[in-house]
Amino acid sequence: MTTAQEREQISRVNASGRTPVVFVHGLWLLPSSWDRWATVFDEAGFASLTPGWPDDPDTVAEAHAHPEVFAGKSVGQVADHFADVIGRLERKPVVVGHSFGGLITQMLAGRGLAAASVAIDPAPFRGVLPLPFSSLRAASAVLGNPANYHRAVPLTYEQFRYAFANAVSEQEARELYERFAVPAPGEPLFQAAVANINPWSEVKVDTLTPDRGPLLIISGEKDHTVPWAIAHASYRKQARNEHAVTEIHEMPGRGHALTIDSGWREVAGTALAFLTRFTR
């Protein structure tokens, strides 16, 4: 079910007559992590929406006060929520997602719901086989305890530093942690971990549909959570689609926090340039 804030965004975007851009955040972040991106895209002529995952709080402070609201969210449930938002738009949007939001972005594109899409350091889907050690270490904050499947799990600063902010200074890493980091549901990570041995997994993408639309995958060179091996394996699966453009771009020197750290504007510009090619 859409929230009042999401319905207000939908009404505003529909009234604008512009191409909508839907931003999809990943684990341990909130929709507000896209606020600066939304401004850039609005100024470029798009109409931005920043929906949340179901039950997302409005602020980081609220998230820390009530972490339990994040628990029990599956990949399929989140994808369906964003599909509901898109279904209320009068124009087919472009979609931009980061991390698990990049996975959701590809799922939405596979359903034919995106005019074009950008998946930034996207979590892997069923059929993406590489499993680098750094990814396992980054996910161990959740996967190390099976009880976390049903819990909301926060990251310690040290865990955030490794998984998100390894490519920035110590000072910036601490600032990012305080400004953006919130608890996250454990379930999606467990779903992704067993996707390749679960034939009924929700963590799957239709990569061959003719309606997928152009897709860009952006990879951070120094990303521990979704390193190049995973991003490129996702690209190879998507590149088999004969009906749409598929591209991949590596951002030098960037980690998993590339959408929120001090270099975010370069990443936003790369995504914007790609989407503008196919919507103007």
Question: Tens digits of per-residue pLDDT, 162-186?
Answer: 999 999 999 999 999 999 999 999 9
Question: In terms of Cα–Cα distance, which of 136, 96, 139 is closest to 120?
Answer: 96
Give the whole-angstrom CA distance, residue 29 versus residue 181: 6
Give the whole-angstrom CA distance, residue 26 versus residue 24: 7
Mean pLDDT (the chain, rounded): 97
What's the CATH code of the domain at 111? 3.40.50.1820
| Structural domains of the chain, count | 1
**4-18 pLDDT tens trace:** 999 999 999 999 999
Over range 212-235, report the average pLDDT: 98
> What per-residue confidence (pLDDT) applies to 214?
98
> What per-residue confidence (pLDDT) applies to 175?
98
Structure tokens at 276: 């503008």
Vertex 174, ends 148 and 96: CA angle to 5°? 65
Report residue 221's pLDDT band, with 50, 70 and 90 as the boundaries.
Answer: very high
> What per-residue confidence (pLDDT) applies to 264?
98
Residue 244 lies in domain: 4-277
**90-120 pLDDT tens trace:** 999 999 999 999 999 999 999 999 999 999 9
**pLDDT reading at 224 higher than 90:** yes
Give the whole-angstrom CA distance, residue 67 versus residue 209: 38
pTM listed for this prediction: 0.97
Report which DSSP code applies to 128: -
Over range 58-79, report the average pLDDT: 97
> What per-residue confidence (pLDDT) applies to 1?
84
